[in-house]
């Protein structure tokens, strides 16, 4: 135990090097071969399996699991990648408890689903470690496609387009490709530089040029892309975060959770990352859980998530909530921020008001509570930013995000979109992959119909 643990205020280096290493190790260690075979044997090889329907990318789950059971791990990985080229990351980050594993008939039968996510990791890890590439590019089509955003949506789209023989350039504003896989996902879900390894694995098919540090709206324009490329895919994710809008929210120590996590993911030494001794997190989604857990793992003494509605309204799954509480995070419900308390511009606490539902609306009760805090994380949602598309052809929005049809087509010809930046999604990695892949198929189809016509 180092003394840093008890340093007051916001401080770096609260823990020993061993503690950091242990705290940020793989959340679920990989299955070994025997564990995988035993876990695979639990799958009933269902007919028209409900787990497949529940997977946004529609992986043939009974087949890939059977392939593990029979010792055909390579074939298993291919079954997964056929539907989801980012199957390795999805295996780590999918909230399986609300997706495939929730639908598993063994969940219904005995409350213990087949561990689909962990099996998916077993197979994809094996193939990636062996450097096994399954896809060859079709003959060059001569078509050029621009993909904006190298997150899961953009990468899935690029891979599928490259497979069909098209040449793809992926632009990303950030210095590294991967999107939130690289900058957002909790560190203990994707250890050992997995996000970059996966980007390399995906782009190894060829025909994909990644151009980091190129932002749409700054270095590129949609109009320009539409002239230089045969099609454009927009996968820019959500660039903005919702503001608190309460007194004192500009104090030092009030931090955007997504930005903080990005810094954490990029830190070469976690000991350099300052964290409060008493931390309050505002929000109820995956981001709130992730920042709270990671603050705790960085050595914060007290971490409290305050959410303005009840447990059942939280976007974070029950599993995620249990994970947080198991790490010592307190979750409090029915509390909304009223005022940030500060001294000489630095956060000292937060005043919250109790809330309740009246007539179907959330209202404050007037009663309030004060929590002392050195750090307050804002995790109350991200938003789509419109600036990059401003001034060009106007892309129709819906509910503040890009409007697309079932194939990912936007309101303007030659432009598709997918992932978090489009309306109607569920803001999950796996859904972004599905949308990117389907948009690629739609783009490919449009080339064929146009050239065939």
Partner 1 sequence: MADIRSNFIGIKSPNPFWLASAPPTDKEYNVVRAFKAGWGGVVWKTLGLDPHIVNVNGPRYGAVWGADRRLLGLNNIELITDRPLQVNLDEIKRVKRDWPDRAVVVSLMVPCEEACWTDIMKQVDDTGADGVELNFGCPHGMSERGMGSAVGQVPEYIEMVTRWVKASTRMPVIVKLTPNITDIRYPARAAHKGGADAVSLINTVSSITSVNLDTFSPEPSIDGKGSHGGYCGPAVKPIALNMVADIARDAETRGLPISGIGGITTWRDAAEFMALGAGNVQVCTAAMTYGFKIVQEMIEGLKNWMDEAGHPDLDAFVGRAVPNVTDWQYLNLNYVAKARIDQDSCIQCGRCHIACEDTSHQAITNMVDGQRRFEVIDEECVGCNLCVNVCPVENCITMVPMAAGAVDPRTGRVVTDDYANWTTHPNNPARVAAE
Binding string, 66-85, against partner 1, x = CB under 8 A? ---x----------------
Q: If binding is defined by CB under 8 A, does position 32 make contact with partner 1?
A: no
Q: With 0-12 CB in 10 A as exposed, 13-18 as middle and 19+ as buried, what is 309?
A: middle
The verdict on 173 binding ligand FAD (CB under 6 A) reads yes
| Rounded distance between C-alpha atoms, residue 317 and residue 294, angstroms | 17
**Of 79 and 355, CB closest to ligand SF4:** 79
434: β partners? none
Shortest approach of ligand SF4 to residue 169 CB, angstroms? 27
Shortest separation between residue 130's beta carbon and ligand SF4, angstroms: 20
Q: Is 283 in the site for ligand FAD (CB under 6 A)?
A: no
> What is the rounded distance in angstroms from the CA atom of residue 341 to the CA atom of residue 246?
11
Shortest spacing between CB 380 and ligand FAD, in angstroms: 12
As a whole number of angstroms, the distance between CA 195 and CA 173 comes to: 17
- Residue 354 in contact with residue 365, Cβ under 8 Å? yes
- Binding pattern to partner 1, positions 103-142, x when CB under 8 A? --xx-xx---------------------------------
229 near 146, Cβ under 8 Å? yes
Options 100-108, 143-151, 274-282, 336-344: segment touching ligand FAD (CB under 6 A): 143-151
Contact 149, 179 (CB under 8 A): yes
- 69 contacts ligand SF4 (rule: CB under 6 A): no
Give helix then strand counts, H and E, for the chain.
17, 19
Q: Does 33 bind partner 1 (CB under 8 A)?
A: no
The 79-118 site mask, x for binding ligand SF4 (CB under 6 A), equals -----x--x--xx--x-x--xx---xxx-------x-xx-
Q: Residue 61 binds which entry of partner 1, ligand SF4, ligand FAD, none, with Cβ cut-offs from 5 to 8 Å by kind?
A: ligand SF4
Q: Are strands 382-383 and 240-241 parallel, antiparallel or unpaired?
A: antiparallel
Q: Is residue 438 involved in binding ligand FAD (CB under 6 A)? A: no
Which partner, partner 1, ligand SF4, ligand FAD, none, binds residue 86 by CB below 5 to 8 Å per kind? none
CB of 311 to ligand FAD, least distance (A): 19
- Restricting to residues 221-250, name those near ligand FAD by CB under 6 A: 235-237, 239
Q: Going by C-beta distance under 8 Å and a sequence separation of 6 or more, which residues neighbour residue 194?
A: 88, 89, 92
How large is the C-alpha radius of gyration of the chain? 23
Rounded to whole angstroms, how far apart are CA atoms 292 and 182? 19
Question: Which residue number, 236 or 347, has a Cβ lying nearer to ligand FAD?
Answer: 236
Residues of 76-88 as b/e, b for ≥16 C-beta within 10 angstroms?
bbbbbbbbbbbbb
At a CB cut-off of 8 Å and minimum separation 6, what does 259 contact?
Answer: 241
Is position 47 an interface residue for partner 1 (rule: CB under 8 A)?
yes
Q: Show the tokens assigned to 95.
A: 């909230």
Q: Are 265 and 183 in contact (CB under 8 A)?
A: yes
- Per-residue burial over 345-379, b = 16 or more CB atoms within 10 Å of its CB, e = otherwise: eebbbbbbbebeeeeeeeebeeeeeebebbbbbbb
Which residues bind to partner 1, rule: CB under 8 A? 34, 37-38, 40-41, 44-50, 69, 105-106, 108-109
Which residues bind to ligand SF4, rule: CB under 6 A? 43-46, 49-51, 55, 57, 59, 61-62, 65, 84, 87, 90-91, 94, 96, 99-100, 104-106, 114, 116-117, 120, 430
Which residues bind to ligand FAD, rule: CB under 6 A? 93-95, 148-154, 171-174, 179-180, 184-185, 189, 215-217, 235-237, 239, 258, 261, 286-287, 290, 388, 419-421, 427-430, 432
């Amino acid at each position: 135990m180092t003394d840093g643990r008890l340093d007051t205020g916001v401080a770096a280096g609260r823990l020993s090097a061993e503690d950091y290493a242990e705290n940020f190790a793989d959340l679920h260690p990989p299955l070994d071969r025997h564990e995988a075979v035993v876990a695979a044997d639990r799958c009933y090889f269902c007919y028209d399996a409900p787990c497949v329907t529940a997977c946004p990318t529609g992986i043939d789950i009974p087949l890939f699991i059977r392939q593990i059971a029979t010792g055909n791990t390579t074939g298993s990985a291919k079954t997964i990648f056929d539907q989801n080229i980012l199957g390795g990351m999805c295996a780590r980050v999918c909230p399986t408890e609300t997706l495939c594993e929730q639908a598993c008939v063994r969940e219904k039968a005995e409350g213990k689903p087949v561990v689909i996510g962990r099996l998916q990791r077993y197979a994809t890890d094996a193939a990636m470690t062996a450097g096994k590439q399954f896809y060859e590019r079709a003959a060059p089509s001569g078509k050029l496609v621009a993909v904006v955003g190298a997150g899961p949506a953009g990468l899935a789209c690029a891979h599928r387009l490259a497979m069909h023989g098209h040449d793809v350039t992926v632009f990303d504003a950030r210095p590294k490709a991967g999107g939130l896989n690289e900058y957002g996902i909790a560190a203990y879900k994707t250890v050992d530089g997995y996000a970059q390894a996966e980007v390399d694995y995906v782009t190894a098919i060829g025909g994909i040029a990644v151009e980091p540090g190129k932002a749409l709206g700054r270095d590129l324009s949609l109009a320009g892309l539409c002239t230089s490329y045969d099609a454009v895919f927009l996968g820019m994710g959500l660039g903005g975060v919702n503001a608190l809008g309460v007194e004192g929210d500009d104090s030092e120590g009030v931090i955007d959770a997504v930005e903080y996590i990005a810094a954490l993911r990029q830190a070469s030494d976690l000991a350099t990352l300052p964290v409060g001794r008493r931390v309050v997190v505002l929000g109820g989604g995956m981001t709130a859980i992730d920042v709270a857990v990671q603050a705790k793992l960085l050595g914060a003494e007290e971490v409290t998530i305050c959410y303005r509605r009840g447990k059942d309204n939280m976007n974070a799954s029950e599993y995620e909530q249990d994970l947080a509480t198991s790490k010592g995070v307190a979750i409090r419900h029915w509390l909304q921020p009223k005022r940030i308390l500060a001294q000489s511009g630095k956060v000292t606490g937060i005043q919250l008001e109790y809330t309740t539902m009246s007539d179907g609306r959330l209202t404050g009760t007037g009663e309030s509570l004060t929590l002392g805090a050195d750090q307050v994380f804002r995790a109350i949602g991200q938003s789509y930013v419109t600036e990059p598309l401003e001034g060009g052809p106007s892309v129709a929005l819906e509910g503040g995000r890009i409007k697309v049809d079932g194939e990912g087509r936007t309101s303007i010809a030659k432009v598709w979109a997918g992932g978090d930046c489009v309306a109607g999604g569920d803001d999950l990695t796996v859904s972004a992959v599905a949308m990117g892949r389907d948009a690629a198929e739609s783009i490919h189809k449009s080339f064929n119909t146009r050239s065939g016509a």
